[in-house]
Amino acid sequence: MKTSHCLAALTALVAMPAFATPPLATVVFHDGGRPVLSITDPQGAALVDATLGLRTAGSDLTHDLRLIGTTQRNLTENYRMTTGKRLVRSANLAETRYALQNDKGEKLDVVVRVANDGVAFRYELPGTTQATVTGEATSYTLPADARAWLLPYDPSNEKERIQTSAAAAPSGDYGYPSLFLTGQRYVLITEANADGRYDGSRLSHVANAPRYGLVLADSRVESTGVTPWRTVITGDLPTVTESTLVDDLADPSKLTDTTWVKPGRVAWSWISDHDSPKDFERQKVFVDFAAANRMPFVLLDEGWSDSWAPQLIRYANAKHVDVLMWFPWTKLDTPAKREAWFSRIKGWGAKGVKIDFMGSDSQARFRWYDDTLADTARFQLMVNFHGGTIPHGLARTWPHLMTMEGVRGAENDPPAVGNTIQPFTRNVVGSMDYTPVALDVGKKEASIAHEIALPIVFESGWTHLADSPEAYQRRPNALMFLDQIPTVWDETRLIAGTPGEDAIFARRSGDRWFIGAIAAGPARRLSVPLSSLGVGPWRADIVRDGMGRGDVARESQNVTADGTLSFDVPANGGFAAILCPAAKGQFKYGCYR
């Protein structure tokens, strides 16, 4: 394809570690002055071409554009999260601003940021603080044969992902994040820093073509003249999976005090007993279960009554358990409703809310998210969003946002193969309230040890355990292991994995590593080399599948720093382990505390 002008690749703007292989980003102008951002691997192999351009009510800034100047700067930000793959973050970004102008003198800036783990770009209308955007020319073209793991779009983001190729995917709309494999490099396409200043978007595809066009949720967006970041995370699978680029691109925290923000495990009754949130006595059982197993929270889901909810909160608080409360978003859709309900439940002693059924990526709904996060922060109520959009970096901006759904979770009885795709797609961009560890409910397709590994494989600031107290109590080895798993991490490593086949994660909390290994499909052997986890030697406390759907088997062994944990697992099986320094593995139950 002909080009009339080519801009320099962004390769030398950030001091990269010697082992880093950042992508290359080059802007070219195709015939007709249509700008395209070409993203390649460090060797120059094509990954994705992003067509650029913006339309407003008064301007068409998609063609007849020419470069009139560039500016460059380096950005380094250090920040701390309350949830996520690692609490302490450092972002290093190389930014180039391309000033473009058409023949009418109308201007558009394309701001491109390059990091070790990807490329992001956004549009800015210079000198403008208010503009009506009517669409974008943004589209992504990939190699036709690139493997693809895609989410058919619905505004709740709860459909089953499909495995296909970039060109062969059926015609239709697809949600974020969209994962592709080109050669040896993965490409994950999503958006960051999307809030009520704009709206959400999705990708539209026509079968037999490798192009994915960006479609806005609204036909008209009242913008500030700045769009969200169109974000392409790329690299090998560990680079993509461990990326924090979405958070790195988000606005800094709006909170100065986060001492009241408390992640943790949550006892939850709705999946195992749909009617239980209506039953005060049954809810007390879940409170007792949480207290006995050092779980800081219980969730009152759909059906609770204000005639007894305050009494349950007092009962729970006496046992050092806090209560979270479910709401449909329509009960909180105005400032007056939020003020009334939040002040009321705060007075009862509730510590957080689960808000459900938003089902829209429109600007109006994104403004509602903004207002609701501001109001909950004012009342010091933590938040879990269900039935709505996916993370765009909001957990950095609003650190009391503990988790979001935006996934086909356990309540929908998804197949086990999905568990080996979600860590490389949806969970890359933020905490994921999948509600794992369904033992006696659901399809029972995954093995017991596979389920026990999910709170490690999946990251969520609040982890809602999906089954009943009785299901866990019948499996004391499993329950004892679950009681050890934190929900925040100092470090995350992808040890091995292939989307749709298996996933092996190591996450560190303090001086302990937690290993979660899961597989989809036939029985096989899963191995975890330990060389990347530290000096060792380690004490390893391991849980594996026992007989049928009974309790897991527990075993212990000492391993060296260069050792390997390797086990045969059944169909859709897995295993989990806790590693602690061998010299410290002297608690009553080894690495258990």
- Rounded alpha-carbon distances, angstroms, from residue 444 to 433, 447, 548: 19, 7, 11
Q: Amino acid letter at 264?
A: G
* Phi, psi torsion values for 108, nearest 5 degrees: -145, 130
- Which residues on neighbouring strands pair with residue 49, listed in sequence order? 38, 141
Catalytic residue among 356, 433, 459, 502: 356
Instruction: Compute, in degrees rounded to 10, the torsion defined by CA atoms 429, 435, 439, 441.
Output: -120
* CB 258, CB 400: distance < 8 Å: yes
Active site residue 242: no
- Which residues on neighbouring strands pair with residue 76, listed in sequence order? 92
Strands 553-559, 538-544: pairing is antiparallel
Residue 246 CA to residue 250 CA, distance in Å, equals 7
Q: Which of 516, 520, 560 has its CA nearest to residue 538?
A: 560
Residue 165 CA to residue 179 CA, distance in Å, equals 10
* Phi, psi torsion values for 584, nearest 5 degrees: -105, 0
Residue 324 CA to residue 107 CA, distance in Å, equals 49
Q: Which of 504, 572, 586 has its CA nearest to residue 539?
A: 586
Residue 139 CA to residue 178 CA, distance in Å, equals 13
Using alpha carbons only, give the angle 261, 264, 267 rounded to the nearest 5 degrees.
Answer: 125
* Phi, psi torsion values for 282, nearest 5 degrees: -65, -35
* CB 108, CB 133: distance < 8 Å: no
Instruction: Compute, in degrees rounded to 10, the torsion defined by CA atoms 418, 424, 429, 433.
Output: 30
Residue 116 CA to residue 94 CA, distance in Å, equals 10
Residue 62 CA to residue 48 CA, distance in Å, equals 19
Residue 445 CA to residue 451 CA, distance in Å, equals 10
Catalytic residue among 41, 109, 322, 411: 411
Measured over the CA atoms of residue 371, residue 398, residue 239 and residue 563, the dihedral's sign is negative
* CB 65, CB 103: distance < 8 Å: no
Active site residue 545: no
Instruction: Compute, in degrees rounded to 10, the torsion defined by CA atoms 188, 363, 63, 5.
Output: -40
Q: Which of 519, 458, 454, 465 has its CA nearest to residue 489?
A: 458
Q: Which of 398, 400, 363 has its CA nearest to residue 262?
A: 400
Show Cβ contacts of residue 228 under 8 Å, excluding neighbours closer than 6 positions. Answer: 122, 191, 192, 193, 194, 195, 198, 201, 392
Catalytic residues: 356, 411
